[in-house]
Amino acid sequence: MKRVGIVFGILFLFIVLFVFISELVSPKYSIHLVEGGMIRDYYLENTHHDVLFLGDCEVYANLNPMNLYENYGITSYVRGTSQQLMWQSYFILKETLHYETPKVVVLNVNAMRYSEPVSEAYNRLTIDEMKWSKEKIEIIKASMTKEENFFSYLFPILRYHSRITSLTDEDFTYLFQKKKNTHNGFLINQNVKPYTSFPTERPLTQSDFSPIDYEYLDKIRVLCEENKITLVLMKAPSLYPYWYPEYEENIKRYANTYQLDYYNFLEKIEEIGIDYQKDTYDGGLHLNLTGANKLSTYFGAILKEKYSLQDHRNDDKIKEVYEKKLREYYKEVES
């Protein structure tokens, strides 16, 4: 009996040590590569969101939920991640529905251009910090490149063990408590880098999107229908990579077929008031804070009017939560 106890004790210690080392060597996404931590921030939310934004960096850099609340009382969350692919958007939406059912889902369509997983590095930023669920298993399976294997997601130590010799202060400081870097999924960037030019536009080799992208766009649409969510498509006003006229036609055709609203903000740059000499932090790929606020103010008016979203500024519970959020937001803006 005593021997069994010792065996279990050793086994328990081994498991504790394994989990500890695994946590230690895994990236913390708190100071560096903060984009990898955005997906986990959502799990800290404790109030409902009327609007959910899905997509790649064109949503988390360009749309500011704090602005939408301040100006319109709209509660929203950006579940965007770096180079989020269509199948990733689908599984993230599916996961979100375990927590809440938004009234409107806004999907940025830039990722329709990618027909296969792009790189492990981007997969990691989207997937590593997701909570374990059926959707996490499915998103891993759908996203892995040929060189990746499922077990490296299940046991991060298999992937990150080599970091043991290059650990930094960040790995120890945020070992047990990771840092929250977003404001309802929005990542603030106040730098200014004016637009100059981009590489020459390449001819398209394929004018239509890949079947797998349509397959997941269909799945997102059906999932929204089943949950009585209004699906809205958008293209953020990012100047690069080029949004080809053929892409635009494809999306318009899809939106018409299924009677979805589609907003291409590239066509509204002047109306929104975006100045690419001031409102971008990387020469026109992403908007900075002033640009994101201009786009959010413009889009917020449409969302509020067209989808009859409630003004939550008079709702005491929501007001209390958002007052705290706004204090944190302005603290970062003014720092």
Give the footprint of other proteins on this chain (CB under 8 A). Answer: 33, 35-36, 56-57, 82-83, 121-122, 125, 196-200, 202-203, 205-206, 240, 282-283, 285
Please, what is the minimum distance in Å from the beta carbon of residue 143 to other proteins? Answer: 15
Please, what is the minimum distance in Å from the beta carbon of residue 198 to other proteins? Answer: 5
Long-range contacts of 323-331 (CB under 8 A, 24+ apart): 325/66, 325/69, 325/183, 325/184, 326/66, 326/69, 326/70, 328/183, 329/66, 329/183, 329/188
- DSSP state, 227? T
By beta-carbon proximity to other proteins, the closer residue of 82 and 230 is: 82
Report helix, strand or coil for 150: coil
Please, what is the minimum distance in Å from the beta carbon of residue 186 to other proteins? Answer: 15
Residue with token string 């030019």: 197
Please, what is the minimum distance in Å from the beta carbon of residue 153 to other proteins? Answer: 18
**Are 112 and 217 in contact, with CB atoms under 8 Å apart?**
yes
**Are 265 and 236 in contact, with CB atoms under 8 Å apart?**
yes
Q: Which residues contact 33 (CB under 8 A, 6 or more apart)?
A: 27, 125
Run of H or E residues at 79: strand 76-80
Q: Which residues contact 1 (CB under 8 A, 6 or more apart)?
A: none
Cα(284)–Cα(288) distance, integer angstroms: 10
By beta-carbon proximity to other proteins, the closer residue of 199 and 211 is: 199
Please, what is the minimum distance in Å from the beta carbon of residue 236 to other proteins? Answer: 12
By beta-carbon proximity to other proteins, the closer residue of 84 and 230 is: 84
By beta-carbon proximity to other proteins, the closer residue of 273 and 283 is: 283
Amino acid at 147: E
By beta-carbon proximity to other proteins, the closer residue of 240 and 262 is: 240
By beta-carbon proximity to other proteins, the closer residue of 243 and 322 is: 243
Per-residue burial over 137-170, b = 16 or more CB atoms within 10 Å of its CB, e = otherwise? eebbebbbeeebeeebbeebbebbeebeeeeeeb
Please, what is the minimum distance in Å from the beta carbon of residue 95 to other proteins? Answer: 21
Please, what is the minimum distance in Å from the beta carbon of residue 240 to other proteins? Answer: 7
Please, what is the minimum distance in Å from the beta carbon of residue 241 to other proteins? Answer: 8
Q: Identify which of 299, 300, 291, 296 has the alpha carbon closest to the alpha carbon of residue 273.
A: 291
Which residues in 159-247 belong to E strands, given as ranges?
230-235
By beta-carbon proximity to other proteins, the closer residue of 125 and 231 is: 125
Cα(288)–Cα(306) distance, integer angstroms: 26
Please, what is the minimum distance in Å from the beta carbon of residue 125 to other proteins? Answer: 6
By beta-carbon proximity to other proteins, the closer residue of 130 and 229 is: 130
By beta-carbon proximity to other proteins, the closer residue of 124 and 304 is: 124
Cα(61)–Cα(18) distance, integer angstroms: 36
Cα(222)–Cα(229) distance, integer angstroms: 10
